[in-house]
Structure 1
Amino acid sequence: MTRIADRRRFLYGSGVVLTAGLAGCLTDEGSDEQDHDDGISDDTEDGPEAVGSDGLVYAFAPDRICILDPADGELVDEITDEFDDESWADPQITSDFERIFIVEESLDQVHVINTETRTHETAIDVGPGVNHIYHPVDDEIWVHADTEGAFYVIDIDALEVSEIVESGLEEEGHGKLLYHEEMGDIGYATNVNDPGIPVIDLGAYERTEFIEFGEVGGTHYKAYSPENGLAYVEYISETVVVDPTTEDIVDEFDFTGGMFLSPEGDRLAIVDGEVYLVDVSDQESDVLGSLAIDGSPSTVRFGPTGETAFVANADSDEIAIIDVEELEEIGRLDAGEITGRNRMAVSGGDYFITPADADDSVAIVDMTTQTVDLVDVGTSVEAIQYVGDSGVGYSGKLR
C-alpha cells in the first residue's frame, strides 16, 4: 500500500518524605531481613539462593544496581559485580519477571540480571548502536542495533543471539518495535530514516512488507490500542493512525511525541509540548483535548485506575498530577532535582518511579496517596525497572 499522508489549572499538594543518611545502596548487613527477607543469602553449592524481588525496584547506576523497596521507601540490596561507568538504557523484564535484560550502550551489549537470586548473570554482545529492547515472545528478547537498522534476537534460555532481523530499508537508523499479543506473529517497526513502517514476521525473523506513509521523512514513537485494534505512529510532525488488518491509514493528528496508554487501554496520552489525550476506545480516535504543563512534560504514566495521570517534567523538579476525565492539573509533588533534557519514569503496582539524579536519589510516588519518598541511593540513576506488573507504557501490556 502507498499512501501520502495529508497534513491536516492549579491545586498544589506536596507530601515528601526524604529517606536520608544512606551514602549508597545497603549491603546484606544493612537490610531488614526479618521483615522483608531482602538480604542476599550465602551462595550454595548449586549457586546463589533464590531470595526473590517481587514488588521491588531495580535502579541502574554507572557503578552498581540498587534495589529499592517502594512500599517502605528504602534501599534493601545492591549488585556491584565490578560495574564501572556503565551506560545503561531501556531495561526489559521477562514475562515471568525472573530476569531483566538491559542495554549497555557504550559496549554494545545486553546484560542479564536474575531477579530471583539478585545476581548479574552475563553480558551478551549484540550489534553496534544498540538502544531499544523488546520482549515480543516469551522465549526471546529483541534489541535494536541502530547502526545496522536491525534487530538482534536473544534466546532467553541459551542467553545468546539466535537471529538477526533486517528492519530498516537502508540497513541503518534508530528504530523501535510495535507488537501486542493480539497481533500474533506480526510486529511493526519504526525507523527515523524510513517514511513508513516495516512489517516484521516475528516467527520467520524477516521483514515482509513496508507500509508507506510518504516519500520522505521517518517514523519513531508508536502505540497500539487493543480496544480498537489501531496503531498510532509518529511520522515527521504528525501521528498517523493505521489499521494493521487492512494496512490503511485511517486518520492523522497534527501533533506527535511520546505515547502512553491507560491501564484500561481506552485513553492514549501523546506528549508534544503539551499533553494531548486521545480516546482510543473505538475507531473514531477522538482527540479529547490538550493540557499545557509548566515545566516541559516528558513522560506520562496513568494511575492504577486510569482516573489520574502523573507527568514527569524535563524542566521542573515537580511531578504534575492530572485529572484524566476533566483534563486539568490538580496537584504537584516535589520529586527531586534532575539533569539532562528529559525525565524518564516508570509505573509499577501503585507507584510512579523516577530518578532524581542531581540529588543522587530516586523518587517513589505513591499514586494512591499522592505522597513521595525521595530515596537516597548515593549515585545518579540512568534506568529503572519495577519487578511485577508494570501496567502499560508505549504500546500496551507487557506482551
Structure 2
Amino acid sequence: MDPSTDRRRFVQAMGGGFVVALAGCLSDDDENGAENGGDGTGNGDDNGNGDGDGDGDGSEGLVYAFAPNTIAIIDPENGAVVDEITDDLDDEGWGDPRITADYSEIYVIRESPSQVLVIDTDGREIVDEVDIGPGPTHMYHPNDDEMWVHSDDEGMFYVIDTDSHEVTDIVESGLENEGHGKLLYHEDFGSMGYATNVNDPGAPVIDLENYERSDFIEFDDDDQGTHYKAYSPETGLAYFEFGDETVVVDTEDDDIVDTLEFSGGMYLSPDEQVLGFLDGDSIRFIDATSEDSEELGVVDVGEGPDALRYHESEDGTLYAATAHTHTDEASIIDVDELAVVETVDVGDIVRPEGAHHFHRSGVAGGDYFITPADEDGIIAIVDMEAQEVVDHVEVEEGVDTVQYVGDSGVGYSSRLR
C-alpha cells in the first residue's frame, strides 16, 4: 500500500493526546465550493493520449477523479469517463483538490513528492508543479489570488500565487511548528482568519494580509488540540472541535461563549440555517441561526458516516447525503424530518488492518452526490432528486479523491468564500 494511503487512512496520534483520522479532514474539510452552477458541458471524446485533450473543450459540470495512475475526467450525466490525464503519474497519493473561483484551474496536493499540481480545466492538462513543505493534507482558497496549503510536518501554510504558480509566503500557524492543521475563513472576517492544529490547545488567529499568526485564542485544556471548524454567518459564531467537545467563539471579539458536549466534522447547509456534526454513528443537527446553538435533533445512520453533503430538492426539501466508512453504502437524510429516507450502494473502500477510523470523501455537484470507492476502483454517482445510484463509473483501484467543476457543496459554508 502506498505510504500516503496509510497517512490518510490510519488513525494517528498527533501529539497532545489528541487522536484524529486525518482524512476527514475532508478534503475539510473538506472546504471549497462555488456559487454558479455548471451546465454539464463535455464533449464525451477521449483522444487517448493520456494528457487531456488540450483543445479547449472545458470541464464545467464534469468530475475530476484522482487515482494512483490517472486523473479520470467524468461526465456524471452520462456516467462515463470522457478524458484522462496520465502523463508523469505513477502510484500517486492525493491530498485536497481546490478549484479557483472562476473554475479555470484545479490545484491538487500530490503527497510524494510534496507538491501541488495545477490543472487547466479548459485544456484538461497539468500546467505546473509547485514544491511545498512536507506532509501536506489540506488546501484553501481564501481569495481569488491565492491558495493556502498546510504542511503538517511544519505546522505552516504555504501561500501559492494563482497567477505565477509560485510560493510567495510561508505562514507559521502551529505553536510548535508542527501538527495537522486547517484554515477557517469567511468574507465576514475581512483580512483575518482562524486556524486549527491538533497539537495546539486553541485557535491561532491568522492575518491573511500580512501573512502571520497575529494572536492565539487559548482554550482550557493544554492536553487537547483543535481540528474541525465551522462558521455561522447568521450568528457570527465560530465552532472549533476540541477533543470530545466543541468550543464556540464569538468572532466579533474572539471570546469563548459556549462549549458543546459533542464534536466531529461540521457541515453548514447551503442556506446557512443548519449545521450538521458527524457524531460517531450519528449526524447531529443544530440551528445555525440560534445564538445558543439549539439542537434540532439527531439522526442515527450507523456504520461510520462521513462526507456530509447537502441538496435542496425542487420542492424545497433539504436533504443530506453521507457515505459510510464501514459499509459499501451511503445514506440520504431528510434534514427537515430528521430521518434516513434511502440507503444506496456506492461501492467499498479500503480498510487497513488495525485502523479504527476511516475516511471517505464525497462532493455535491449539480443534482448529484459523488463519492469514490477505492477498493472497487469506481466513482459512484447518486441522483439526489431520484435518491438512487445512477452509475458506478470504473476508474482504477485506489481512486479516493474527487473534484466537481461547478457549484459544489464541499465546504463548511457550501460556498467558495
Using structure 2 for the length normalisation, give the TM-score. 0.84
Query: 1:222-371 residue pairs with structure 2 within 5 A?
Result: 222-273=229-280, 274-305=282-313, 307-340=318-351, 341-371=358-388
The separation in 2 between residues aligned to 1:245 and 1:390, in whole angstroms, is 29
Secondary structure of 1:234 counterpart: strand
216, 232, 244: which one pairs with 1:210? Answer: 216
The separation in 2 between residues aligned to 1:179 and 1:210, in whole angstroms, is 15
Query: 1:46-195 residue pairs with structure 2 within 5 A?
Result: 48-195=54-201
How far the C-alpha of 1:237 sits from its partner, in A, is: 1.0
How far the C-alpha of 1:355 sits from its partner, in A, is: 0.6
Paired position in structure 2 for 1:382: 400
Secondary structure of 2:307 counterpart: strand
How far the C-alpha of 1:154 sits from its partner, in A, is: 0.3
- The amino acid across from 1:367 in the alignment is M
How far the C-alpha of 1:317 sits from its partner, in A, is: 1.0
How far the C-alpha of 1:215 sits from its partner, in A, is: 4.0
| Structure 1 residue 200 corresponds to structure 2 residue 206 | yes
- The amino acid across from 1:267 in the alignment is V
- The amino acid across from 1:320 in the alignment is S
Identify which range, 231-240 or 372-381, moves more after superposition: 372-381
Paired position in structure 2 for 1:27: none
- The amino acid across from 1:385 in the alignment is Q
How far the C-alpha of 1:310 sits from its partner, in A, is: 0.8
User: Residue 342 of structure 2 contacts residue 387 of structure 2 at CA under 8 Å; is this kept in 1?
Assistant: no
The separation in 2 between residues aligned to 1:383 and 1:303, in whole angstroms, is 20
Alignment gaps of 5+ in structure 1? 1-34
The separation in 1 between residues aligned to 2:173 and 2:345, in whole angstroms, is 42
Deviations 1:208-256 (A, max 9, x none): 1111112411100001112222111101110111111111111211111
Identify which range, 130-139 or 342-351, moves more after superposition: 342-351
- The amino acid across from 1:288 in the alignment is L
Alignment gaps of 5+ in structure 2? 1-40, 352-357
User: Residue 175 of structure 1 contacts residue 190 of structure 1 at CA under 8 Å; is this kept in 2?
Assistant: yes
The separation in 2 between residues aligned to 1:165 and 1:276, in whole angstroms, is 34
Deviations 1:70-108 (A, max 9, x none): 111111110111200111111011111111111111211
The separation in 2 between residues aligned to 1:94 and 1:58, in whole angstroms, is 14
The separation in 1 between residues aligned to 2:414 and 2:216, in whole angstroms, is 23
Deviations 1:157-201 (A, max 9, x none): 110100000111111111000001221111100001111101111
User: Residue 41 of structure 1 contacts residue 51 of structure 1 at CA under 8 Å; is this kept in 2?
Assistant: no
How far the C-alpha of 1:396 sits from its partner, in A, is: 4.3
User: Residue 373 of structure 2 contacts residue 400 of structure 2 at CA under 8 Å; is this kept in 1?
Assistant: no
Deviations 1:34-70 (A, max 9, x none): x942436899xxx943110000000001111000001
List, as ranges, runs of 4+ consecutive aligned residues in structure 1 with deviation greater than 2 Å: 35-43, 391-396
Deviations 1:298-339 (A, max 9, x none): 221111356111111111111111111121111111111222
The separation in 2 between residues aligned to 1:223 and 1:338, in whole angstroms, is 27
User: Residue 41 of structure 1 contacts residue 48 of structure 1 at CA under 8 Å; is this kept in 2?
Assistant: no
Secondary structure of 2:375 counterpart: helix
The separation in 1 between residues aligned to 2:185 and 2:44, in whole angstroms, is 35
The separation in 2 between residues aligned to 1:228 and 1:41, in whole angstroms, is 51
The separation in 1 between residues aligned to 2:92 and 2:398, in whole angstroms, is 12
RMSD: 1.8
Deviations 1:20-45 (A, max 9, x none): xxxxxxxxxxxxxxx942436899xx
User: Residue 333 of structure 1 contacts residue 371 of structure 1 at CA under 8 Å; is this kept in 2?
Assistant: yes
Deviations 1:266-323 (A, max 9, x none): 1111002121101101322101121221222122111135611111111111111111
The separation in 2 between residues aligned to 1:361 and 1:215, in whole angstroms, is 43
- The amino acid across from 1:205 in the alignment is Y
The separation in 2 between residues aligned to 1:68 and 1:157, in whole angstroms, is 27
User: Residue 296 of structure 1 contacts residue 315 of structure 1 at CA under 8 Å; is this kept in 2?
Assistant: yes
How far the C-alpha of 1:394 sits from its partner, in A, is: 2.7
User: Residue 58 of structure 2 contacts residue 124 of structure 2 at CA under 8 Å; is this kept in 1?
Assistant: yes
200, 209, 220: which one pairs with 2:227? Answer: 220
Using structure 1 for the length normalisation, give the TM-score. 0.87
User: For this pair of structures, how many residues does the alignment match?
Assistant: 362
Deviations 1:335-378 (A, max 9, x none): 11222322211111211110122221100111111121111124
The separation in 2 between residues aligned to 1:396 and 1:182, in whole angstroms, is 15
The separation in 1 between residues aligned to 2:339 and 2:407, in whole angstroms, is 27
The separation in 2 between residues aligned to 1:36 and 1:129, in whole angstroms, is 35
User: Residue 258 of structure 1 contacts residue 394 of structure 1 at CA under 8 Å; is this kept in 2?
Assistant: no
Deviations 1:135-165 (A, max 9, x none): 0011100000111111000011110100000
The separation in 1 between residues aligned to 2:97 and 2:190, in whole angstroms, is 23
